[in-house]
């Protein structure tokens, strides 16, 4: 087993005792940091950063130099898999990700390959290996992927969307085609995450950003079912220790009990669900990660500290909690407010672990 200086995050995910609540932030490597914006300017564009292992490593490590975080997360994008399937990912200024080719019928699904993670996605594995080496055991490295349903929304819509008309249209009009697409994506995500684990990721997370736009029945059929398939196929032990798996469905608070039953080690919770309620729903089956509203970071350090105390009290005593935002940090946040957030977790969480 390679030694970790700080394994609080991994222990909390496995519901083992910890001295304080570990903390990291979704999108902690990124646009709110001036040093990231400088590096991106040098690289030219977002995907050039992702495809260069040294630069991706530098971006991953930037927040760890500023803050006493308990985990690093691979700097990459959830849309690497559709890009590797040949859909032509590009980014429009002010509009987010777009694809040159969309997937809206049987023929388009049939054409999709299942990417080889060490070939078409080899740049991600090179980044994982580089980051793991440069971390030198300081904190664990989290790998990640988008969920099949979330990836499908971008692939069918051709980019971001407000009303999900194309993807829901396909789901309702041609459910068989949608299931074939989701199955291909589940196979791709499984091999992609297993390759990240083999390359050195010590925990993995599946981001189901758009699962919350589905009805409960459709969520079970078109999202949760495929995340369960992935969880079943993941490497769960590497490097002499367990590799914890976290599922996160944004706006999925009502389904936490069903999510807990699929076999992951932890569930992400957004700010629309109280952690006390979430803890009750999962009945100790899984650890919980979350769930501060990212917008709190616009407030004063004193208000941020109050919110941290409220969330810690809501979860209550004992292990199984990783403190995080309920979604990614906003680009306009003052980095000093993040310091107040992290310090507050460090200061006020030990009392819950005596």
Q: Does the residue 167 lie in any domain?
A: yes
What local confidence, expressed as pLDDT, does residue 1 receive?
Answer: 60
Q: Are 150 and 209 in contact (CB under 8 A)?
A: yes
Lowest model confidence (mean pLDDT) among 39-43, 177-181, 261-265, 339-343: 39-43
Is 29 marked within a binding site? Answer: yes
**What are the catalytic residues?**
27, 31, 40, 77, 154
Is 44 marked within a binding site? Answer: no
What local confidence, expressed as pLDDT, does residue 94 receive?
Answer: 72
Q: What is the pLDDT of residues 309-340, one digit of tens each?
A: 999 999 999 999 999 999 999 999 999 999 99
What local confidence, expressed as pLDDT, does residue 21 receive?
Answer: 98
Q: Does the residue 101 lie in any domain?
A: yes
Task: Domain of residue 186: give its range.
Answer: 33-66+71-235
φ and ψ at 121, to 5 degrees? -110, 20
The tally of domains found in the chain comes to 1
Is 28 marked within a binding site? Answer: yes
Q: Does the residue 191 lie in any domain?
A: yes
What local confidence, expressed as pLDDT, does residue 45 receive?
Answer: 86
What is this structure's pTM? Answer: 0.97
190: left (phi over 0), alpha (psi -120 to 50) or beta: alpha
What's the CA gap between 327 and 269, in Å, rounded?
9
Q: Does the residue 169 lie in any domain?
A: yes
Q: Does the residue 329 lie in any domain?
A: no
Is 154 marked within a binding site? Answer: yes
Q: Does the residue 268 lie in any domain?
A: no
Q: Does the residue 196 lie in any domain?
A: yes
Q: Does the residue 227 lie in any domain?
A: yes
């Amino acid at each position: 087993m390679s030694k970790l200086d700080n394994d609080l995050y991994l222990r909390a995910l496995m519901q083992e005792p910890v001295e304080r609540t570990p903390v990291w932030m979704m999108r902690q490597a990124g646009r709110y940091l001036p040093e990231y914006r400088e590096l991106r300017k040098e690289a030219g564009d977002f995907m050039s950063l992702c495809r260069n292992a040294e630069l991706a490593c530098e971006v991953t490590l930037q927040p760890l130099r500023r803050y006493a975080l308990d985990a690093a997360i691979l700097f990459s994008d959830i849309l690497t898999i559709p890009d590797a399937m040949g859909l032509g990912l590009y980014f429009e200024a002010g509009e987010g990700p777009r694809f040159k080719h969309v997937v809206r019928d049987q023929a388009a699904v049939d054409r999709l390959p299942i990417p080889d993670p060490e070939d078409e996605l080899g740049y991600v594995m090179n980044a994982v290996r580089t980051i793991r080496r440069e971390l030198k055991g300081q904190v664990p490295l989290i790998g990640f992927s988008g969920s099949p349903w979330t990836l499908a929304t971008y692939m069918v819509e051709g980019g971001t969307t407000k009303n999900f008309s194309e993807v829901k249209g396909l789901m309702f009009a041609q459910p068989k085609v949608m299931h074939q697409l989701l199955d291909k994506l589940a196979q791709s995500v499984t091999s992609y995450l297993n390759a990240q684990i083999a390359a050195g990721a010590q925990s993995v997370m599946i981001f189901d950003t758009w699962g919350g736009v589905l009805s409960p029945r459709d969520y079970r059929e078109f999202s949760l079912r495929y995340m369960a398939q992935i969880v079943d196929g993941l490497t769960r032990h590497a490097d002499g220790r367990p590799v914890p798996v976290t599922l996160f469905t944004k706006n999925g608070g009502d389904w936490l009990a069903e999510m807990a039953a699929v076999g992951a080690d932890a569930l992400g919770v957004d700010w629309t669900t109280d952690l006390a309620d979430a803890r009750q729903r999962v009945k100790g089956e899984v650890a919980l990660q979350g769930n501060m509203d990212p917008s709190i970071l616009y407030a004063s350090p004193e208000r941020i500290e109050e919110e941290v105390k409220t969330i810690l009290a809501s979860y209550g005593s004992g292990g199984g909690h990783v403190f995080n935002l309920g979604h990614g940090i906003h680009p306009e946040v003052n980095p000093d407010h993040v310091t107040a957030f992290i310090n507050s977790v460090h200061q006020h969480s030990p009392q819950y672990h005596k």
